[in-house]
Amino acid sequence: MATLNYLTQIHFDHGAIKHLAKGMQRLQMQRPLIVSGPNLAVQTLREQLPDNVPFVLFSEVPSNPTESAVLQALEVYRVADCDSIICIGGGSPMDLGKAVALLARQPGPLAQYAATQGGRGKIRDVAPLIAIPTTAGTGSEASVASVIICEDGRKLTFVSDLLLPRLAICDPQLTLGLPAGLTAATGMDAVTHCIEAVLSPIINPPAEAVGLDGLERAIGEGNLLRAVRDGQDADARWHMMMASSEGALSFIKGLGAVHAMSHAVGRIHELNLHHGTLNAVILPAILRFNHAHAGDKYMRLRRAMGLAPNTDLADFISDLNQSLGLPINLKQMGVSDVHLDGLTDHAMADLNTTTNPRKPGVQDYQQLFLEVLG
C-alpha cells in the first residue's frame, strides 16, 4: 500500500518575497525569531517585515547545525518572547530553525525526537515557521525533515509532518550572484536528492515523477551548468530553485546511502564539510553499488538527464563534478585515514540506510568509504 502526502504552500517566482507579510498575517505571526546565516538577504527580509513587527535575529548558525546552536537560538527566542520563526538562507538555518520550533513547544532533550530513536510520534507541536531559501540545494523549505549534530556527536534526522514549514517563499532572485562553487555544491545536493528519491524502494510514483522532473531541469536542460557559469542567469536560477524544491518533495519517499555516508562524514567537527559537496563526491560510488538493484530506474534517470541509453551514470556524475569544479574524492576535502574510525557505524545507524535500494552491510560501508576517500 502506498501512502501519499503533498505537502505545504509554496510561493514561487522572482519577487515572491513580497508575499511574506501576508503569509505572516495568515499564520498570525507577530514576533518571529529570524534565523539566518550571514547573508545579504537578511536586509531584503527586514524590508518586507510589517512596521509593527520587531526584528529579532539569530545569525550564529553553523554550516552543519548543532544542538548547541539550537539551544542558543532557543534562548534568544524565549528571552524575546517570540511566537514563531522565519528561516532565511541555506539548509543550515532552515534545519536549525525547525529544531528551535520543536523545542519552543516541547521539552528537551532534542535527541529523543530523532527518527531512529522512535521520536517521530513524540513530535506533537511546533511553533509556526516560514522558510525562505537563498540557495538552490537542500529543499528544506519543502521537507518534513531536519538534520542536527547532537551533543553526543551523532548527526540525527528529525522527521515529522509538523516540521514542514507552514509557508515556503522561493524567490530565485535571492540566489542571483551566488558564488560558482556554492552554486555547484548546492546544485549537486538537489541532484542527489532527486536521484536517491527515485532509487528509494518506497512506493510513491508521484514523488518519483517529481524527482525525475527536477533532474530534467537541473541536468537535462543544462540549468546547473548555466547557473554555475553565469550567476546572473535568472532563468537558470529559477529552474535550479525549482529542482531544489522538487528534490525535497520527492524525498518524502526516502533517500539512501549517499546521505548516510555524507551525514557520517559531515558530523566531524574539525572538518566542517559542506553537505552538498559531500553528496556530490560520494554519489558515483553509490550509483555503482546500487546498479544491479534498481530495476529500470537507471534507464529512467538517464532519460530525465538527457543521456544516451548506455551512459554509465557513475562516470557521468564524476565527469560532471569535475566540470563544476568540485573535488574528486574526500582526500581533496581534507578527510584522511584518521577520520575513518566510526564512519561505518554512523552510516549503518543513519535513517537513510533503510531506504537504499541495496542494503549496505558493515563491510560494504567500509569498502565504500575507502573508495570515496581516494
Written as one string, the DSSP assignment of 292-306 is: GGSTTHHHHHHHHTT
Rounded Cα–Cα distance for residues 303 and 149 (Å): 37
Residue 177: per-residue pLDDT: 86
Q: How confident is the model at residue 38 (pLDDT cuts 50, 70, 90)?
A: confident
Fold of 9-174: Rossmann fold (3.40.50)
Query: Mean pLDDT across the stretch 338-359?
Result: 96
E-strand stretches of 160-276: 167-170
Beta-carbon contacts of 107 under 8 Å, excluding residues fewer than 6 positions away, are none
Over residues 148-152, mean pLDDT: 93
Q: Are 266 and 296 in contact (CB under 8 A)?
A: no
> What gap in Å lies between CA 181 and CA 277, rounded to an integer?
9
Domain limits of the chain?
9-174, 179-373
Per-residue pLDDT tens digits for 55-71: 999 999 998 999 999 99
Q: State the average pLDDT over residues 153-162.
A: 93
133 Cβ contact partners less than 8 Å away, ≥ 6 residues apart? 88, 89, 90, 94, 139, 140, 141, 168, 170, 174, 175, 241, 244, 245
Tell me if residue 99 falls in helix, strand or coil.
helix
pTM of the full structure: 0.94
Q: What is the pLDDT of residues 118-139, one digit of tens each?
A: 999 999 999 999 999 999 999 9
Q: How confident is the model at residue 4 (pLDDT cuts 50, 70, 90)?
A: very low
Quick one: pLDDT at residue 44?
86
CATH number for the 179-373 domain, one of 1.10.1370.30, 3.40.630.10, 1.10.3720.10, 1.20.1090.10? 1.20.1090.10
Q: Are 65 and 148 in contact (CB under 8 A)?
A: yes
Measured distance CA(167)–CA(27) in Å, rounded: 9
In contact, 157 and 146? CB cutoff 8 Å: yes
Average pLDDT over residues 242-260: 96
DSSP three-state, residue 72: helix
**Among 224, 227, 363, 195, which residue's Cα sits nearest to residue 294?**
195
Instruction: Look at residue 169 and give its three-state secondary structure.
Output: strand
Task: Tally the residues of the chain.
Answer: 374
- Identify the DSSP state of 216: I
Percent of the chain with pLDDT strictly greater than 70:
98
Specify the pLDDT at position 40: 61
Question: Which pLDDT does position 5 carry in this prediction?
Answer: 46
CB 313 within 8 A of CB 298: yes
The neighbouring-strand residues paired with 156 are: 148
User: What integer best gives the mean pLDDT of the chain?
Assistant: 94
**Least confident window among 60-64, 93-97, 287-291, 346-350:** 60-64
Confidence of residue 2 (pLDDT cuts 50, 70, 90): very low
Give the three-class secondary structure for 89. strand
How confident is residue 277, by pLDDT bands cut at 50, 70 and 90? very high
Tell whether the model's pLDDT for residue 106 goes beyond 50.
Answer: yes
Mean pLDDT of 269-290: 96
Question: Fold identical between 9-174 and 179-373?
Answer: no
3-state secondary structure 259-323: HHHHHHHHCCCCCCCCHHHHHHHHHHHHHHHHHHHCCCHHHHHHHHCCCCCCCCHHHHHHHHHHH
**Residue 311 pLDDT exceeds 70:** yes
